[in-house]
Amino acid sequence: MATTKEQNSEKDIHILWESARLRVTDEFTEPPEVLSIGDSVIGTLGNFSASTGKAKSKKTFNVCAIVAAAMINGTVLRYRATLPPNKSTILYVDTEQSPYHCIRVMERILMLAKLPIDRQPDKLEFLALRKFTPKVRIAIIEKAIYHTQGLGLVIIDGIRDLAYDINSPSEATNLISKLMQWTDERQIHIHTVLHQNKGDDNSRGHIGTELNNKSETILQIAKDEFDKDISIVSSVHMRTIEFEQFAFRINELALPELIEDYQPNETAPKRGFDYKALTEQQHRQALEVAFAQDEEHNYSTLIDSLQKAYESVGYKYGRNKIIGLKVFLTNKRIVVQEGKKYKYNPDFHY
């Protein structure tokens, strides 16, 4: 004879079975699109996505732009957010950084959204979970997801820290199952951040494999091959049409800034700039033009000035060629970088 506990369990399973049954006559509305890049949808309610990239590729800067767009239901970098009015609250979870650095992240988000940084916005909840164990982190996130009113978007910056063993198949399955449960039951979108392997472009561990298999969208953040100050955002996996990759740099305010006319790497020179194509005198002539109006440039004005100056002496190059030139000039200390400013050094040795 079945025990009361077994009877209750059987009853629970029966209820779950009934709730899981679908009929062809059932009607469901298409999930609302809440995050996009141009005409490409990267996030809908009821699903989750991920950003991947190697260490120091500026993944957190990139995700700050996503959150800033969601804060204003507008566009930041290339990200456009359209959260419904009843789901306009954002929960940001950081598992890696200290409270001090988490505050810097929050300030960065608000500055990108052009919101004041001297008071906490109603739409943003921020959790700093570095000091907790993976089990406790998951419990805190779950509590926040189910008890935050009007929640629409959740960022988990450091999903690897929700598992004890990144290569455990069972932990990975349980964690991804949690993401599917939370997004389905709360009809929210969750965007996670995960490191890539050092030796290749694969997301780390079994968690990375499961994310690749189950995510709605996988974004990749990578440093430009020819200029490490530039980060490139591209699509690894999309359920909709892919977007054209774009790039950003970190400006003087320590904020990500879109590079409007960025050209993909495949059109860039394979060996950098061929400096032997120009004489020392031609370099000097061009650089005197580039720094004639201003003795120092930031990155953006430097690239523009170099492009115009070298064209004025007969060398018309595309942006990626100029980026290669900039690397050559700074490596040779013909142009000297001081902080985020660049100055011409006329005493260089060619």
**CA angle at 298 for the pair 316 and 261, rounded to the nearest 5°:** 50
Which residue's entry shows tokens 């004041």?
116
Maximum distance among all alpha carbons in the chain? Answer: 98
pLDDT band for position 207 (50/70/90)? confident
Which pLDDT tens digit goes with each residue over 8-48? Answer: 688 888 888 888 888 887 777 778 999 999 999 999 999 99
Which of the two residues, 200 and 61, has the higher pLDDT score?
61
- 222 φ, ψ (degrees, to nearest 5): -140, 150
Percent of the chain residues topping a pLDDT of 90: 57
Cα–Cα distance, 198 to 165 (Å, whole number): 18
Which of the two residues, 333 and 67, has the higher pLDDT score?
67
Q: Which amino acid is at 51?
A: S
Neighbours of 279 (CB within 10 A): 11
Torsion-angle region of 339 (φ positive above 0: left; ψ -120 to 50: alpha; else: beta): left
User: pLDDT value at position 71?
Assistant: 97
Which domains are delineated in the chain?
33-260 (3.40.50.300), 275-344 (1.10.10)
User: pLDDT value at position 6?
Assistant: 58
Q: Which structure tokens are listed for 179?
A: 């993401």
Question: What's the Cα-to-Cα distance from 85 to each of 152, 191, 258, rounded to whole Å?
Answer: 9, 19, 28
User: pLDDT value at position 269?
Assistant: 42
User: pLDDT value at position 199?
Assistant: 55
Which pLDDT tens digit goes with each residue over 120-132? Answer: 999 999 999 999 9
Which pLDDT tens digit goes with each residue over 286-299? Answer: 999 999 988 999 99
Question: What's the Cα-to-Cα distance from 200 to each of 20, 127, 195, 222, rounded to whole Å?
Answer: 39, 31, 11, 12
Q: Is residue 276 over pLDDT 90?
A: no
Tell me, yes or no, if the pTM score tops 0.75.
no
Nearest to 61 by CA among 225, 202, 207, 258: 258
Length of the chain: 350
